[in-house]
């Protein structure tokens, strides 16, 4: 949580710096370069902020989306305004897109410091390249010959790019490793808790595995007139299934990693629909 808040502060400050930099160089930026800078700032600022907000507001997609989109709109507009109205429009549209994608990604991945660090490095890398573009355009204007401004050797954007790729490989490897480990441990834990629940409570217990690609059962069959507990076993944190909702049953339960028992009493025969909190996965509960 603290890392996400610090990352949001960094995103806001760096984005403001890019806006000020563009204003200072407004007479030196041609139309195409200005449009690219505005689009980059709008997209990356809203994307990064959306991810961090999505991690902070894990139970809600509305707040992160609105804040990230509004921030991306402002960053894209004020970055492109010194260049042209077309550049502002380009930056604003990129800000809308980045805000929506970032908020969804943040809510889906949950509290993952690996994703936070990766997005931070990616944000710094892309905006560093945009800064280099501004500097090159300024040098081109002063020298009058773009060929004289080509840099040789290893620059900071190149170094940050190498770090980003390397960190991405490590992050993916670590994610897969911990996901595999969590799957193994949660299966054992859920089996033990399920046996204990059946022995001590007298409920009929149905287990549903919640994985990164959805749930193990699209239709859950239970007997009518028998107290029931459905155990949604969340085997990994890397899934967009953050909660289980059902208007038919009046439930909205946030899923923690591991066992999540939902108690259902006195259900009449019939079919009841349920879905994940993001309305991406659906299922039914059939009472017979």
Each residue's pLDDT, cut to its tens digit, for the chain (288 residues) gives 677 788 889 999 999 998 888 887 766 667 788 888 899 999 999 999 999 998 888 767 888 999 999 999 999 999 988 888 888 999 999 999 999 999 888 877 766 677 788 888 889 888 888 888 777 766 665 565 444 444 545 555 556 567 766 766 776 666 556 555 544 444 444 444 554 445 446 788 888 888 766 778 888 888 888 888 889 888 776 666 778 888 888 888 888 888 888 888 878 899 999 888 777 788 899 998
pLDDT of residue 90: 92
Close Cβ partners of 77 (under 8 Å, ≥ 6 residues apart): 42, 88, 91, 92, 95
Q: Which residues contact 121 (CB under 8 A, 6 or more apart)?
A: 160, 163, 164, 167
The CATH number given to 202-287 is 2.60.40.420
Q: Are strands 228-234 and 204-211 parallel, antiparallel or unpaired?
A: parallel
In this predicted model, what pLDDT tens digit does every residue of 218-262 receive, in sequence order? Answer: 888 888 888 888 898 887 766 667 788 888 888 888 888 888 888
The predicted pLDDT at position 97 comes to 95
Residue 28's nearest CA partner among 101, 133, 170, 104 is 133
Q: Average per-residue pLDDT in the chain?
A: 78
What are the sequence ranges of the domains in the chain? 2-138, 202-287
**Residue 277 burial by Cβ neighbours in a 10 Å radius (0-12, 13-18, 19+):** buried
Task: Find out whether 243 and 249 touch, Cβ atoms under 8 Å.
Answer: no
Tokens of 253: 């339960």
């Amino acid at each position: 949580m603290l890392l996400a808040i610090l990352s949001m502060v960094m995103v806001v400050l760096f984005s403001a710096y890019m806006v000020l930099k563009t204003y200072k160089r407004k007479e030196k930026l041609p139309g195409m370069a200005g449009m690219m800078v505005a689009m980059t700032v709008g997209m990356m600022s809203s994307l990064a902020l959306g991810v961090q907000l999505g991690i902070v507001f894990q139970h809600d997609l509305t707040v992160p989306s609105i804040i990230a989109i509004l921030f991306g709109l402002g960053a894209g507009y004020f970055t492109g305004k010194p260049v042209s109205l077309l550049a502002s429009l380009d930056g604003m549209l990129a800000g809308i897109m980045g805000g929506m994608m970032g908020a969804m990604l943040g809510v889906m991945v949950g509290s993952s410091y690996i994703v936070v660090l990766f997005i931070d490095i990616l944000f710094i890398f892309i905006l560093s390249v945009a800064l280099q573009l501004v500097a090159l355009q300024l040098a081109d204007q002063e020298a009058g010959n773009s060929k004289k401004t080509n840099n040789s050797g290893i620059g900071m954007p190149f170094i940050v790019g190498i770090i980003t790729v390397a960190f991405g490989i490590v992050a993916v490897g670590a994610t897969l490793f911990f996901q595999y480990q969590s799957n193994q441990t949660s299966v054992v834990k859920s089996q033990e808790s399920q046996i204990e629940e059946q022995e001590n409570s007298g409920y009929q217990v149905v287990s549903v595995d919640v994985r990164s690609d959805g749930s193990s059962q699209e239709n859950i069959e239970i007997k009518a007139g028998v107290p029931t507990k459905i155990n949604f076993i969340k085997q990994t944190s890397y899934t967009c299934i953050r909660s289980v909702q059902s208007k038919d049953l009046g439930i909205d339960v946030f899923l923690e990693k591991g066992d999540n028992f939902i108690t259902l009493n006195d259900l009449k025969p019939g079919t009841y629909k349920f879905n994940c909190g993001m309305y991406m996965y659906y299922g039914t509960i059939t009472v017979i």
